[in-house]
Structure 1
Amino acid sequence: MLVFLSSLAAIFIILPVLLYALVFFIVKQWTKSHLKAKSSAINVTTFILIFSVHYLILAIWSKSFLWMIILFILLTAIVFTYIYWKIKEEVNYGKVFQGFWRLNFLLFSAVYIGLLLYGAASRAIEAVMFD
């Protein structure tokens, strides 16, 4: 059972879009709400995207930059909270966290796609140049 769960986690870390689709489909069938399904899928997938970016960086450069990723997330939270406070003049922590988490979904999705393309291109060039 542990092997199955670790294999499933590895699949979702490699392809987080599958997790998004799976969570979306399950929640949509359960709640019949497109908005709740999308929200749940984004919330779950964001967490996995962070690890996906970390493991892509490990695969490309053989170095762990997890501390930089965590620092980036914390700085994003600080900047997002500051901007929210400047606009609304008070901080609603629930809305701030929800907006911050969705912003992280967008940022880490873009970084994931960029790293995926960069990694594939660099490996292809490396295979052609040194083959």
Structure 2
Amino acid sequence: MDKIMTQNEKGITLLEVLLSMVILSIVLLTIVNFFPQMGRMNTYNGEKMKAVNLARGELATWKERDSLDTPPPHYILNEGTDPHNYHYFTSTIDGFKVNVTIDKQSDLDTTESPSLSPSPSKAHQMLIQVLEDQKIVSETYGYMMVND
């Protein structure tokens, strides 16, 4: 009679409960480990986006200038590695270090083609680098038009 009662009993054993808890714990720990990684990636992407926007904004600021020798007020002239061919400027903006390199030699002279510009001007190539902790986060290239 004892055999019949044990065969008809319904329920789960302690071993089944423990096994299901272990499997559930493994799954939950795997999912929970993704949250800090996602937070770090979101922070990194946010800083990268700020640096890209800063580089674009500084390029626009420099394009409005009409002289190679007069930077915006928050920039300092540096000697750089090749002061005979390039102007080097640096600044700190929103926690980022910004380096601007301007080629002193013009790539384009509009005096040869009056249809391009009503007044003669020259295009000087620029490189703007945005650094954080001595690492380049963003960089952009552009041209600065300077009237003769």
TM-score by length of 1: 0.27
- Greater strand fraction, Structure 1 or Structure 2: 2
Instruction: Between the two structures, name the one with larger relative contact order (CA 8 Å, sep ≥ 6).
Output: 1
Of Structure 1 and Structure 2, which has the larger fraction of its residues in helix? 1
Q: Which structure would you say has the larger Rg?
A: 2
